[in-house]
Amino acid sequence: MTTHWILGPGAIGRLLAHSLAPFIEVSVIGRRALPSRQLLTTPEGEVCFQHLTSFTAEQWVADTPTPPAFVHITTKAMAAEAALSSIASVLPPSTPLVLWQNGFYAQPRITQTWPGPVLCATTTQGAYLTGDDGVVHAGRGPTFVGDLDNQHAGLAAFLAVLLSEAGLTASAVGDIRSRLWQKLAVNAAINPLVALHGVRNGELRGEAYSGRVVAVVKEVTAILAKEEVAPPNGGEGDTAWLALVWQVVENTANNKASMLQDVEAKRPTERGAILGPLIERAERHGLRCELLKGLDRKLAQVEAGF
């Protein structure tokens, strides 16, 4: 039977495991093993349980498992490479990987170094954990799959069909790079501000923050224009990027953004995967990005206090 390994049992990893398990064999690998009885609360409020097999990377490697058809890496961005290294000794180098990270940090690095196909996925499925044995699927949204060099369209299409059958509506796309940057732009405009000020996304619409959102989007727009990432929805410049950001703020007004959740839990944030690539590209193109650098510095100070 086809096996998929899911490396990183966070909210998206567990949602993926619950969704795929009725169709294929799934093994969940994490830093610690989870209870095998796992609960999923659907967006409609239905609670379902399923037995999911979970292992630590050490247990898994010691077991010399049969090679998988796919490995999904669902860790935080900055932990993806270490997670892959922890199981690489039992993974044939031709194994297809699927990277589910935010930002644009893990994706180019792993694409460059992993010998097999590397697909990237970006999703707007909403999910959060309720403990070691529970995940809430808070909202449905599309998932897009593709590879950065557009060399694995068939594999992306195959995976998109499987994910869609499993209830996670997915499409294979030829522009995953732009889609990853698009999500990164939205995350850069929302996450650092709400994380530093301890507010929910919707508060960014108020007088205290809206001007700063506009200013951050201006810096981001200039960088993405140099990177030749097309503005969203066929629009132009700042206006198109800002419209997308305000739309996401509106749709997620009640959310505590992932970066705010990280700060509250005293976990390292994804600033290196979200602000890092923007600052690095700005420097490469000789652009100023004082606001982005300032946000990155302040987040670094907050993290240093953990």
Residues at the interface with ligand KPL (CB under 6 A): 186-187, 190-191, 201, 248, 252, 255, 257-258
Handedness of CA 75, 71, 116, 165 (dihedral sign): negative
Active-site pick, 183, 218, 293, 298: 183
CB of 235 to ligand KPL, least distance (A): 19
Cα angle 71-269-219, degrees, rounded to a multiple of 5: 105
Minimal distance, residue 234 CB to ligand KPL, in Å = 21
Among residues 143 and 187, whose Cβ is nearest to ligand KPL?
187
User: Of 273, 291, 272, 97, which Cα lies nearest the Cα of 181?
Assistant: 273
183 is catalytic: yes
Residue closer to ligand KPL, measured from CB, 221 or 252: 252
CA 44 to chain centre: 24
Give me the sheet containing 53-56, strands edge to edge: 53-56, 25-30, 3-7, 70-73, 97-99, 118-123, 143-146, 170-172
Please identify, using beta-carbon distances, which residue of 159 and 263 lies nearer to ligand KPL.
263
Contact 20, 1 (CB under 8 A): no
Distance CA 202, CA 145 (A): 29
Instruction: Select 6 or 186, whichever has its Cβ closest to ligand KPL.
Output: 186
**Smallest distance from the beta carbon of 264 to ligand KPL, in angstroms?**
13
Residues serving a catalytic function are 183
